[in-house]
Amino acid sequence: MIEFETPSRRALLTAIGKAGGTLALYQAMTALGHAAPTQFSGPPKLAGAKPGASVIILGSGLAGMAAAYEMSKAGYKVTILEYQDRPGGRNYSVRGGDVIKETSGTVQHVRFAPGNYLNPGPWRIPYHHQALLHYCQEFGVALEPFVQINHAGYIHSADAYGGKPQRFAEVSTDFKGHVAELLAKAVNKNALDDTITKEDKDKLLEAMRGWGVLDKNMAYTSNLRTSAQRGFDRPPGGGVNGAPTPSEVAGLTDVLDPRVWQTLGLYLNTTMQTTMFQPVGGIDMIGKAFAKKLAGKIRLNSKVTKIAQDDASVTVDYEDVVTGKKAQAKADFCVCTIPLPILSQIEVQVSNAKQAAINSLPYQSSCKIGLEMKRRFWEQDEQIYGGHSFTTQSISQLSYPSTGFFKPGPAVVLGAYAGGAAAYQFAGMTPEERIETALNQGSVFHKQYREEFSNGVAVAWSRLPWITACASSWTDDLRKTHYQDLVSVDGRVVLAGEHCSYIGAWMEAALLSSIDAISRLHQRAVAA
């Protein structure tokens, strides 16, 4: 969960004015006062590149490939060095036949059935991530809705409902019912007469009655009206026995469990809101689409060991990780998108302030576990089509596929999406232990879990040698000290990636950072 400190508008405008000049200030000012969903205003306009000007780009994640694509279009001669044997960076999917190697030497062989996949990193696209949606359209990446909110999904807390999972519809109806009843009670005791007007008081009572589905005594009780939201014991049907019977509402104490209200609020975070999308066939369809546009420009298996610059050019030392052969690449400019846990281990010729920024930013980890089940029992037995179930256990959530609904045969659930300390707990286990833990914990939702399990894969980001972490983890204090130093153009070098943004671990962050970085580098190049 991202927590922000509120800067004053004036302080912000001053900061923007300093950093970006008059045009940026003007653009920012006109934007204020309008609730704009995105900072994206179209691909960068990089007019007037000097003939023959060259750029070396380090890393072929979305930031690096977007930089390469746009600078190439603008006339720059572009080369990308990529450490891995595939382009895409964190934008990747794993499928049957893939091999996952960890820093410890542990190897996993993915055994999913053809067509099935796990997205270990990014997996969903909020509607306001317009830069990403722009490139998906430009490259013809087919998108399908990602089912984010599913009222049939479960919420489980070890401390509520006797540990028994509840449907999302049940807890959200009960939570608002109790809140409405309590607030109405306080209002009717005149406890808020010093706060609200007489007119608002009447409107508020009416709102609590309607929104909370209170009865004529302004109480939240078990009846067919509350059941029409939380679900019935016997739902309405047809014919002779069509009459419904109500379900029992839960008491106040259970609905006050933090896992309940945290989940209710979760879906209102802008990055969690609907409508969401995902690429048909796996998130790596995006990275692959970028890579297709950059054919011949990406050098794989290239481990960068040094980045140097002088008045005339940038020189990058690298090593072919397959042959061990060392080489140098030279260019007029450099866009470096290497994640900081790796970059901080490389000799880079930049200012002390930028080096301090590179060294100072902590990263968070994550562990995602994909479990292939023999059949879609969550659909067939429990009428759950996509969406999530949440738990207080370390797997944190269980997500159901948003594609291939109703199909027979095996399908992959996301059996764990652990962050924080839990991500490192999972990383400390063998892949088999991680999967065993996910099966154990997930069984709290689905009694079919073990019987239907076929095979699994567990990706612990802190163990992946090409990044050793998941994503940047800024704090407000770190931002004040290091952010502008990290993103500034330093001689002929600029950094880009999700770590150079206020968005964090999202593909959109990589793209918006990249567009900003290359726009400034281009200005520098044209002015040089």
90 close to 366: Cβ distance less than 8 angstroms: no
Strand-pair partners of 333: 55
Q: Is 204 in the site for a copy of itself (CB under 8 A)?
A: yes
Complex with a copy of itself: residue 32 or 327, whichever CB lies closer: 32
> Which CA distances in Å does 355 have to 50, 63, 491?
29, 20, 13
Q: Which stretch binds a copy of itself (CB under 8 A): 168-176, 306-314, 365-373, 451-459?
A: 168-176
Q: What are phi and psi of 58, to 5 degrees?
A: -105, 115
Complex with a copy of itself: residue 235 or 465, whichever CB lies closer: 235
What DSSP character marks residue 490? B
Contact positions with a copy of itself (CB under 8 A) in 35-74: 35-40
Give the one residue of 97, 163, 265, 465 binding a copy of itself; rule: CB under 8 A. Answer: 265
Q: Is 509 in the site for a copy of itself (CB under 8 A)?
A: yes
Give the one residue of 106, 109, 163, 211 binding a copy of itself; rule: CB under 8 A. Answer: 211
- For residue 290, give the H/E element and its range: helix 284-293
Cβ 36 to a copy of itself, closest distance in Å?
A: 6
Amino acid residing at 486: L
Q: Which stretch binds a copy of itself (CB under 8 A): 52-60, 90-98, 203-211, 296-304?
A: 203-211
CA distance 526 to 83: 30
Residue from 338, 306, 323, 307 nearest 466 by CA: 338
Q: Is 151 in the site for a copy of itself (CB under 8 A)?
A: yes
Q: Dig out the tokens for 131 from the structure.
A: 């830069």
Contact positions with a copy of itself (CB under 8 A) in 445-504: 484, 487-488, 496, 500-503
Give the one residue of 14, 26, 32, 430 binding a copy of itself; rule: CB under 8 A. Answer: 32
519 close to 46: Cβ distance less than 8 angstroms: yes
Q: End-to-end distance of the chain based on CA atoms, in angstroms?
A: 42
In the shown chain, the binding pattern of residues 390 to 429 toward a copy of itself, with x for contact by CB under 8 A and - for none, equals: ------------x--xx-----------------------
- Axis-axis angle for helices 130-138, 507-527 (nearest 10): 80
Amino acid residing at 380: Q
Cβ 494 to a copy of itself, closest distance in Å?
A: 9
Q: Is 280 in the site for a copy of itself (CB under 8 A)?
A: no
Strand-pair partners of 495: 336
Contact positions with a copy of itself (CB under 8 A) in 282-341: none
Contact positions with a copy of itself (CB under 8 A) in 226-255: 227-247, 252-253
Q: Is 149 in the site for a copy of itself (CB under 8 A)?
A: yes
